[in-house]
Amino acid sequence: MHVSMALVFPGQGSQIPGMLDRLPNHPAVLQTFEEMSAELEHDVRQLDSPETIRSTVSAQLALLAAGVAAARALEDEGAIPKAVAGLSIGAFAAAVHAHVLTLADGIRLVRQRAELMEKHSPSGYGLVAILGLKEDQVAALVQQATSADNPAYLGNVNAPEQIVISGSWNGMQKVSDAALKAGARKAERLNVPVLSHSPLLQPVADALTQTLQSIPLRAPRMVYVGNVTARAMQTAEEIAWDLASNVAHGVRWHDATTVLQELGCSLFIEMPPGHVLTNLAKKSLPQIRSIALADSSLSYVVRQAFQHSS
Amino acid sequence: MQGPILPPEKITNALQLLLKSGDRIVLEGDNQKQADFLSRSLVQVDPQKLHNLHLIISSISRPEHLTLFELGIAKKVDFSFAGPQSLRLAQLLEDGKIEIGAIHTYVELYARLFIDLIPDVVLVCAEQADEEGNLYTGPNTEDTPVIVEAAGFRDGLVIAQVNEIKGKLPRVDIPGSWVDVIVQADRPFALEPLFTRDPRQIDELQILMGMMVIRGIYERHGVQSLNHGIGFDTAAIELLLPTYGESLGLKGKICKHWALNPHPTLIPAIESGWVKSVHCFGSEVGMDQYIAARPDVFFTGKDGRLRSNRVLCQLAGQYAIDAFIGSTLQMDADANSSTVTKGRLAGFGGAPNMGHDPHGRRHSSPAWLDMIASPSPLSRGRKLVVQIVETFHSGNSPAFVENLDALSVGRKAGMPLAPVMIYGDDVTHVVTEEGIAYVYKAEGETERRRALAAVAGVSPIGLKAKPEETAALRKRGIVAYPEDIAVQRLQANRSLLAARSMEDLVAWSGGLYRPPPRFRSW
């Protein structure tokens, strides 16, 4: 095990058409695809065509596929991380890689999560990203602006001054206006097909909790850092709760990556696709070496993993 | 066992047998060095057999320090600094998995080892041991002698990990009759370069403030002895002495004696003849050879290498220096300051000790006497306690606030005291990019607040400053803007630094300074 390496798995927003073809050409990737195709009862590669990937169900399943496949390829080459963490849907790939649940069960869970998220995404609601204010500043503004008819909630804390809020567009407009007055650099709507990380999705979390009760779970074989509380987790129960619940809570991503650093990880490898998490880490945790596999090569990343293990 | 020497593979078992549940354990988590073979072994004991240890540790740095609490091996902690583990510590506290006795400044924690935190077992690290158990702690002696003394003379157990076991030691730092168990570690003890700052990262604002400090404080009051709290602000001052300080003709008049870790950024000043002596809390990775070449400046043994001692150096920093200067993140209108961030518990380190005025001091020095602001015959001088603050951080958060975050952090964590780093009534000077507030000269609370507001820029506190009041304070010398002390803003650029890169520092040292890999870009 590489005592200084963590794998981080990206969330929704990172998916792009053709992302599965861009994964390393490695037996472990092909094997993972075969496994997933069998479970899905169709070729997993159908998930990321420009049309299909627009559906959150395909997007989330494709992200699961990419994350698990790439992590397995790394492991095949001898690079096993000390810890894993995934943003939102990424947490499921992280949990599968930590052997908490099987890939087949992961697929079941992710499909249910995505389908329910689609169902429970009311129109008139969405997400807004606020840049340039701290968490407690945004929390105070949310508190002031929210109402029963036009709720607003604190969502993901991706970086010390990159906060996402959820809620009704009207409620969030109030928060945005106040935020800009208070000195925020930007307050912009996120272009996402479904609502996420909002208390409005508690019914989804409840359904996932139910499903997880019938899934055989194991203690993680490496540390898993959770989304909701950013705790380092070593038991199946805690991780199951985190997987079920993250959809209804803001992801404390900045705290989670800080915990990875405090646990001794000095190298973060981001699984494909993209480099969203790498960019966040480069800015918020500059002492950490952060590499996006999508922008690199498997052999380079493996070499870095071995260099960092001393 | 062969004398005091324990085979390494038996260490976890030995710890399980020698320690008792509930014992008070000092684990050498010093600032720079960590007895990590012992801490990594301690996390492997069976929590059923060994649990609820009371850990006394100055610097919570290693991941396994807190894993001990996650596993229930340890329950309570008394410490000083937890910067590298500040989030996990806050989480454990929130989850009820750790009990904090108190947060201390370094020398305060060590003082209690002799009063009410007397340890049952101490786990320390050293470079080498001989077959009799004598220890060589070398440049990174740090806290070891004091920790060992606390256990060695109160029937406590002393267990030491060493890098190697040799026939003859270069010098004896700790006698074998104080030590019970020696074990050779699987790898050399962990050592972090905490006091290295890359000159490339020093910006013009810091250079401007550095010039103001040298001119408006060091020169004005004749500061001969001092400590610099670590940071880029103070690194800038160190690199401005051979250039800006020289242009003012100050060599030999200021900054001669230092209580300081071996900062690489002090090399140019040492090589230029500014520095008469430096006593160190610990060593610094890469500085070994340079230090050995300057026994006229550093404290070195007959073996030629540094001897550091944190407790003695902290004592020097308390009583024997004219001035402390450090940078802080947040300050209120009364100059109370703190570096806490919400959701994190980082503790204090040495700053509260250096950054206070010890009323027990009896000897005087020119700078100390210059702080007398009252005509009363019973007036005494003060230590200069200087705080450097940039008025805004990352564009949006003012450093000057109505209420320190420390208040809510302390409340949320259930602490008896808010974690204030330096109290306003100890502060004599506040330096911002706007100017210097000579708060020691202000008469009464209102005038102090006005002096601070005058240098607080466009923060909410700074905006309260009335122009007429500021003008009056400048006239009386209670506030100085750069032009008032003949500091040219335009002169504040990087070309004024004696060294502008790590390579420059290496060159100044004649190639003897060897920066650790992460600081090398060539």
In this structure, the answer to whether residues A8 and A108 fall within a common structural domain is yes
pLDDT, average across residues B390-415: 86
Q: Which of A262, A308, A309 to mutate to test the interface with B (most CBs of B within 10 A)?
A: A262
- Which tens digit of pLDDT belongs to each residue from B173-210? 999 999 999 999 999 999 999 999 999 999 999 999 99
Structurally, at CATH architecture level, domain B199-496 sits in 3-Layer(aba) Sandwich (3.40)
**Stated pTM of the model:** 0.95
Chain B CB within 8 Å of residue A132 CB: yes
pLDDT, average across residues B108-130: 98
Last-in-domain residue among A171, A189, A207: A189
Chain B CB within 8 Å of residue A308 CB: no
Chain A CB within 8 Å of residue B403 CB: no
In this structure, the answer to whether residues A70 and A163 fall within a common structural domain is no
In this structure, the answer to whether residues A96 and A241 fall within a common structural domain is yes
Q: Verify whether the Cβ–Cβ distance B95 to A230 is below 8 Å.
A: no
Domain ranges, ordered by start, for chain B: 7-191, 199-496
Q: Verify whether the Cβ–Cβ distance B87 to A161 is below 8 Å.
A: no
pLDDT, average across residues B465-474: 96
Q: Is residue A194, in this structure, part of any structural domain at all?
A: no
User: Closest partner residue to A263 among B63, B342, B394, by Cβ?
Assistant: B63
| Pairing verdict, β B436-437 and B429-431 | antiparallel
Confidence band for B1, pLDDT divided at 50, 70 and 90: confident
Instruction: Quote the percentage of chain B above a pLDDT of 70.
Output: 99
- Which tens digit of pLDDT belongs to each residue from B307-350? 999 999 999 999 999 999 999 989 999 999 998 888 999 999 99
In this structure, the answer to whether residues A148 and A295 fall within a common structural domain is no
User: Closest partner residue to B87 among A133, A234, A259, by Cβ?
Assistant: A259
In this structure, the answer to whether residues A70 and A158 fall within a common structural domain is no
Give per-10-residue mean pLDDT for chain A (310 aa). Answer: 88 94 96 97 96 95 98 96 97 98 98 95 92 94 95 96 95 96 93 88 97 98 98 97 97 98 97 97 95 97 84
Residue B397 half-sphere exposure toward CB, CA atoms < 13 A: 18
Confidence band for B69, pLDDT divided at 50, 70 and 90: very high
Chain A CB within 8 Å of residue B310 CB: no
| pLDDT score at A1 | 67
Q: Which of B397, B458, B519 to mutate to test the interface with A (most CBs of A within 10 A)?
A: B397
In this structure, the answer to whether residues A132 and A273 fall within a common structural domain is no
* Chain A, nearest residue to B343 by Cα: A255
Q: How many domains does chain A have?
A: 2
∠ Cα A19 A155 A255 (to 5°): 80
- Which tens digit of pLDDT belongs to each residue from B432-462? 999 999 999 999 999 999 999 999 998 889 9
Chain A CB within 8 Å of residue B20 CB: no
A 10 A CB-CB count for B289 gives 15
Residue predicted with more confidence, B342 or B500 = B500
CATH number of the domain within which A152 lies? 3.30.70.250
* Chain A, nearest residue to B66 by Cα: A263
Q: Verify whether the Cβ–Cβ distance A231 to B95 is below 8 Å.
A: yes
Last-in-domain residue among A189, A215, A244: A189
Which chain B residues are closer than 8 Å to A264 by Cβ? 62-63
In this structure, the answer to whether residues A273 and A142 fall within a common structural domain is no
| Whole-number Cα distances in Å, A113 to A108, A199, A273, B503 | 9, 15, 20, 55
Q: Which CATH code for domain B7-191? A: 3.40.1080.10
Q: Is residue A132, in this structure, part of any structural domain at all?
A: yes
In this structure, the answer to whether residues A185 and A217 fall within a common structural domain is no
Q: Is residue A242, in this structure, part of any structural domain at all?
A: yes
Do A27 and A103 touch, CB atoms closer than 8 A? Answer: no
In this structure, the answer to whether residues A88 and A14 fall within a common structural domain is yes
Chain B CB within 8 Å of residue A135 CB: yes
In this structure, the answer to whether residues A72 and A170 fall within a common structural domain is no
pLDDT, average across residues B478-505: 97
Q: Verify whether the Cβ–Cβ distance B87 to A134 is below 8 Å.
A: no
Q: Is residue A293, in this structure, part of any structural domain at all?
A: yes
The shortest C-alpha distance from A187 to chain B (Å) reads 15
Mark which residues 79-118 of B lie under 8 Å from A by CB. Answer: 84-88, 91, 95
Q: Is residue A58, in this structure, part of any structural domain at all?
A: yes
Which chain A residues are closer than 8 Å to B84 by Cβ? 262
Q: Verify whether the Cβ–Cβ distance A259 to B343 is below 8 Å.
A: no
Last-in-domain residue among A170, A189, A208: A189
> How far is Cα A92 from Cα A215, in angstroms, rounded to an integer?
14
User: What range defines the domain where residue A136 resides?
Assistant: 125-189
DSSP letter at A193? S
The mean predicted confidence, pLDDT, of chain B is 96
User: Closest partner residue to B396 among A133, A231, A264, by Cβ?
Assistant: A133
| pLDDT score at B189 | 96
| pLDDT score at A307 | 84
| pLDDT score at B398 | 85
Confidence band for B262, pLDDT divided at 50, 70 and 90: very high
* Chain B, nearest residue to A136 by Cα: B342
CATH number of the domain within which A93 lies? 3.40.366.10
Do A125 and A166 touch, CB atoms closer than 8 A? Answer: yes
> Is this complex's ipTM strictly greater than 0.90?
yes
DSSP B367-435: HHHHT-----TT-----EEEEE--SEETTTEESB-SS-HHHHHHHHTT-SS---SB-GGG--EEE-SS-
Chain A CB within 8 Å of residue B70 CB: yes
Which chain B residues are closer than 8 Å to A184 by Cβ? 396
